[in-house]
């Protein structure tokens, strides 16, 4: 499983089959910690965010999502507030 991979309910059930569970057995859990927020299904170190009818893998036992890094600096004469 790869970070940010999108899965339909059918695809997620196929992935969860070796863990003897499926989306019908797992309850959505609300998470609000660090970079993770929203409704998730958590199984064996995997965290799948549920949004708009799809599931997105946001954490695996070996990898976690990271906050995007900004690789540019603001110009000295830039007075914008954005």
**Greater pLDDT, 41 or 69:** 41
* Global pTM value: 0.76
Report the number of distinct structural domains present in the chain: 1
- 22-48 pLDDT, tens digit each: 999 999 999 998 778 899 999 999 999
The pLDDT mean for the chain works out to 87
Q: How far apart are the first and last CA of the chain?
A: 36
Domain residues for the domain of 75 are 1-82
pLDDT above 90 covers a percentage of the chain that reads 55
Among 15, 44, 16, 40, which Cα is nearest to 30's?
Answer: 40
């Amino acid at each position: 499983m790869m970070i940010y991979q999108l899965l339909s309910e059918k695809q997620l059930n196929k992935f969860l089959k070796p863990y003897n569970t499926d989306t019908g057995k797992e309850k959505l859990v609300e998470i609000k910690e660090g970079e993770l927020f929203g409704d998730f299904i958590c199984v064996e170190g995997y965290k799948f965010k549920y949004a708009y009818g799809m599931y997105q893998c946001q954490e695996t036992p070996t990898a976690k999502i990271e906050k995007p890094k900004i690789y540019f600096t603001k110009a000295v004469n830039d007075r914008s507030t954005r």
